[in-house]
A and B are shown apart, each in its own frame.
Chain A
Amino acid sequence: MIRLIVRRLLLGVVTIGCIYALTFVMVISLPGNPFQQGLHNIPPEAEMALRARYNMDNNWLYFTEFLAGAVRLDFGPTFTYNDWTCNQIIASALPVSLLIGLLAILIAVMVGVPIGVLSAVKRGSWFDVTSLTFVLLGISLPTFVTGSAMLIVCSVCLRIAPVGGWGTLAHLPLPALALSLPFVAYIARLTRTGMLDALGSDFVRTALAKGASRRTVVWRHALKVAFLPVLSFLGPASAQAMTGSFVVEKVFGVPGIGQHFVNAALNRDAGLIMSTVLVFSTLLVAFNLVVDVLYAWIDPRISEAV
């Protein structure tokens, strides 16, 4: 187990390094001037001085200095929001996204798994058909549609939730729910497929033959096997949910980190682009590591294999 963790950690560091290098190359080859603020063109001498100040007149210097900063968890300045540092922006936005994302994943697991199990057990029934339709909708309907619909129904018509924004507990449920929908759908589908496989396998028949109740067999024996694909999906899904969704943030006015991914690229804000990418990739690697460890714990054959 420890060997697995150490190997994965080393691999993670290499992965993040590669991502950083790739992002850096893309960032420096972007056209456009990061220092231009409004309609006025910035004088070339002033641009040069600013480039020098942020080490951007020498790519190698910029690459190493930014990396050195990032290792110390200091991501330096942003150009778009001059008064804030990348660290402050991440510290303000990331916890928001973590909270919404964590809630979304919890909802996804708590709703998606039972739906999947039930539709597998009652295969072909009206419940299965309805849930399949729901799953299909959840996967194919974009969040800006479901999100806006929820906002209009719950906030404008029923007045049971605030119209977007952030600051109270009441601001939490809608965005979390909107963000969770596609995950609910995926998890339900994965559980259903896994469950169908598991219910048809020998150990389930054995357990049933030995007199275990159907309920125990489904929820204890079969689900444990059927949950494995869900678990491997949860790693990247959590990272994706917790690093923010631009669309959900935009629709509900949630000040999460997703918007900075998009806006930083549009604004050519090199520091913010690289810091958000680094944060995202670190989270992704970390969640995958956690999932691998859990996997090995649930199914010990895995750790022997790797």
Chain B
Amino acid sequence: MIRNLFLICVALLLTALSIYTLGSRKPRADFTYVNPSGIHTLDPSRMSWTQDFRVALNIWEGLTTWHPETLEPIEGAALFPPDISSDGLTYVFTIRDDTRWSNGDRVTSRDFLRGWRRGLEPGTATDYTFLLADNIAGADEYVRWRREAVGELVAMKRLCDGWSINARQARTIAQSRVFKELQARVGDTLRAPEAEAEEWRWESWIQGIAPRVDWENLYDRMFQKHVSELRSRFDDVGIVTRDDQTLVVRLAQPCPYFLDLIALPIFLPCHESIELLRERYRGTLITAEGLVVYDPQWTKPDYHRNNYPGLVTNGPYRLSDWTFKRRARLTVNPHHRTAKTITCRTVDMMVYDNISASIMAYEAGDVDFLPAMDVPYDHEIARLAQTGERKDFHLCHVLATYFLNFNCVSESVDGRPNPFVDPRIRRAFALAIDRERIVEKVLKRGDRVARSFVPPDTISGYQPPTGLVMDVDRARGLLAEAGYPEGVGLPAIELLYTPSDERVCQAMGRMWEDALGVRVELRSKESKTFAEDKASHRYMIARGNWYADYNDPMTFLDCLSTGNGNNDSGYVNPRYDAMLAEASVIRDPVKRAALLRQAEAIIVEEDLPILPILHYAAPIAIKPYVSDLYANSRLWFPFRYVTVER
């Protein structure tokens, strides 16, 4: 009896689980593609992965978008081209009459303002704030002001609630205006330690004064002051809605690639319904920490808290169904102006964590398009694509560079002297590398050899300098000149990388050992630890890579300017900075390109803060019955043009 009962229970459980997890079967979409790791986020302001961009740019539409084949900026939600002032600083965009959200609402300039403003807010935690801050007049000042204020509010809020704060927060408090006013009133008893004092001094200082200060009062004053200034401060940012249809953008300096830039997700509009999900504090539009925060679930099509209608987008497609790490279905947005011309009415994005499995699914005919095929046997796939044995395999020469960073700042690393502060040694190490061997013998993936930071023949109007060609004798000479003949006296050289770089880094270590007589220590670290070591300059040589954000040499060259958040080499060269600054105000494209080329020559021929190795080739697979989908350098695949004739 009990045994039977047990069996019945198990059977019931199995059935229930099957029904719950398997769900109902949907008919196959017109077009199916694979996104190997799934969507990280669909919040356009927060995303930074190509595969997320791909979904976002199919369901939203910016002021401009890119041509599927040439990648030139073309008309998006606004009339193209916009009115540009003669000094190149003011852009006036007119939103098209027939641009509609997926719920039928008209797309207005305010929707763009909302989207762009989110990109500036510290609470959005976007990787791309700099694209707005660097280009739009007043945006940088606004971002700085907001970040500072948020830091102060966070620290004070903690103290109000009776929690301890760390040294960095204590420093923030000491520098805040309200605290300085208080200090001025009560005198020396609140005096803070020197700014450079050790952490424990700051911690004990704040612990000492915490009970003597009315933090509630300070916090309230600061919060109110900040709220009252929010509007006027944002008015100073060069994004203005002249009327429902007109968006006026003032730039900080001319930006010849601005129309290309604004096709990126961080410049997408945002429907007003998101305001239903805004977090508020004391009736204001910000949280107690001073952040602008929306319920992160606003990107779900079936999310309805607070009468939220679910995700509303303005692109050729809308998101009709999204299950975590399984599938996303896009269906045509019936209100989009091109809706009638779109032949793929439904698109399925499938998730296969295992890329080999996705290739098998492609071979079995379950999938029409694979935008990523980075598998352990990618050299074989590259071979099939290059020899033409598989006409449906293509190589995309991506606008991206794989390189090594030299640590140009730290005098010592792990107690060892860091020889790479001397540019001659960096040059010597660069001259000793046989890139052809790496590309053709080690990786064999069809990548292109890189001697410049910017990939050649991809950005129109720009040809990078030739860079350094392998020359072992010259490398040895430079090493001797720097005081290390035959590598004698050099400490063991540490090469830091992640496990996926094993083969390349082993090969390079060997090349240096053979050519220069140095000892190379290979240090493979898990990616997050690696990233932290690198960002804090705890390395001698580390592998690096960069994917272009926009179609201009600046997207690469800017990474090495002084103080740039992505300048992991810690490279400082005022001459280089000055050249970039000068180029940013030159309006003549030929002169500008020449100057940028000179600047790049400093990087790849003289100073070598980085050592370019290769420009990536990414294999993709498109079924022969799919047309109007193009292999391109930005892995940009708009589905609205695609036709499928099975």
- Which residues of A come within 8 Å of B, CB atoms? 30-33, 35-43, 45-46, 48-50, 52-53, 57-58, 61, 77, 80-85, 88-89, 92-93, 95-96, 98-99, 102-103, 106, 151, 155-156, 159, 162-169, 171-172, 249-253, 255, 259, 266-268
Contacts and interface: CB of A to CB of B under 8 A. Distances in A.
Given A38-B49, A106-B10, A255-B325, A83 B300 contact: yes
Contacts of A31: 528-529, 532
A84 B303 CA distance: 11
Nearest to A267: B528
Interface stretch (B40-48, B59-67, B81-89, B176-184): B40-48
Contact of B352 (A35, A37, A39, A164): A164
Given A49-B122, A53-B293, A168-B25, A33 B532 contact: yes
Contacts of B168: 48
Contact of B127 (A33, A37, A255): A37
Nearest to B533: A31
Interface stretch (B15-23, B93-101, B202-210, B591-599): B15-23
B363 A43 contact: no
Given A45-B148, A82-B46, A83-B42, A32 B293 contact: no
B140 to A, nearest CB: 12
A166 B130 CA distance: 40
A84 B48 CA distance: 17
A167 B528 contact: no
**A-B CB proximity, top 6 nearest:** A32-B528, A38-B48, A45-B147, A40-B127, A99-B17, A52-B154
B21 A50 contact: no
Contacts of A268: 528
A290 to B, nearest CB: 11
B17 A98 contact: yes
A271 B164 CA distance: 22
Interface stretch (B332-340, B353-361, B486-494): B353-361
A137 B169 CA distance: 58
B215 interface: no
A248 to B, nearest CB: 11
A32 B147 contact: no
Nearest to A162: B366
Interface of B: 10, 13-14, 17-18, 20-23, 25, 39-43, 46-49, 122-123, 125, 127-130, 147-148, 150-151, 154, 157-158, 163-166, 168-169, 287, 289-291, 293, 296-297, 299-300, 323-327, 350-354, 357-358, 360-361, 363-364, 366, 526-529, 531-532, 535, 545-547, 565-566, 568
A95 B128 CA distance: 37
A98 B326 CA distance: 17
A273 B17 CA distance: 24
A82 B296 contact: yes
A266 B527 contact: yes
Nearest to A249: B353
A85 B300 CA distance: 12
16 contacts: A32-B528, A33-B532, A40-B130, A42-B127, A46-B122, A48-B169, A49-B151, A57-B158, A81-B40, A82-B41, A92-B324, A156-B364, A169-B18, A250-B353, A252-B357, A259-B325
A48 B127 contact: no
Contacts of A251: 354, 357
A197 B23 CA distance: 47
B357 A167 contact: no
Contacts of B39: 83
Contact of A37 (B17, B40, B290): B40
A243 to B, nearest CB: 14
Contacts of B20: 95
B618 to A, nearest CB: 16
A172 B15 CA distance: 12
Given A57-B154, A151-B357, A168-B22, A88 B324 contact: yes
Contacts of B353: 249-250, 253, 259
Contacts, number: 198
Contact of A52 (B41, B129, B158, B297): B158
A153 to B, nearest CB: 12
A82 B13 CA distance: 32
A163 B127 contact: no
A303 B296 CA distance: 50
A52 B289 contact: yes
Given A49-B147, A52-B158, A163-B364, 13 more contacts: A32-B529, A37-B47, A40-B130, A57-B169, A58-B158, A61-B163, A92-B323, A93-B324, A98-B17, A156-B360, A164-B354, A167-B326, A267-B528
Nearest to B46: A82
A33 B531 contact: yes
Contact of B147 (A39, A46, A88): A46
Most buried by B among A48, A92, A151: A48
Contacts of B23: 167
Contacts of A88: 324
Nearest to A88: B324
Q: B18, B127, B130, B289: which has the most chain A beta carbons within 10 Å?
A: B127
Contacts of A103: 14
A80 B528 contact: no
Contacts of B289: 49, 52-53
A68 to B, nearest CB: 15
Contact of B526 (A42, A167, A249, A266): A266
B300 A167 contact: no
A36 B122 CA distance: 14
Nearest to B564: A41
Given A53-B289, A53-B291, A255-B351, A42 B125 contact: yes
B122 A39 contact: no
Given A43-B129, A102-B14, A267-B528, A80 B40 contact: yes
Contacts of A85: 297
A150 to B, nearest CB: 12
Interface centre among B326, B327, B351, B545 (most CB of A within 10 A): B326
B542 to A, nearest CB: 13
A43 B48 contact: no
Contacts of B157: 52
A85 B25 CA distance: 25
Nearest to A79: B125
Max chain B Cβ within 10 angstroms of own Cβ: one of A32, A35, A83 = A83
Contact of B291 (A39, A41, A49): A49
A249 B352 CA distance: 10
B353 to A, nearest CB: 6
A259 to B, nearest CB: 6
A40 B129 CA distance: 10
Given A163-B366, A165-B352, A40 B122 contact: no
Contacts of A84: 297, 324
Contacts of B129: 43, 46
Nearest to B168: A48
A171 B18 CA distance: 11
A30 B525 CA distance: 13
A299 to B, nearest CB: 16
Contacts of A57: 154, 158, 165-166, 169
Contact of A39 (B151, B299, B545): B545
Nearest to A38: B48
B361 A165 contact: yes
B352 A155 contact: no
A49 B123 contact: yes
B127 A50 contact: no
B22 A169 contact: yes
A83 B46 CA distance: 10
B630 to A, nearest CB: 24
Contacts of A37: 40-41, 46-49, 127
A41 B546 CA distance: 12
B40 A50 contact: no
A58 B163 contact: yes
A32 B532 contact: yes
Contact of B360 (A42, A89, A163): A163
A251 B358 CA distance: 11
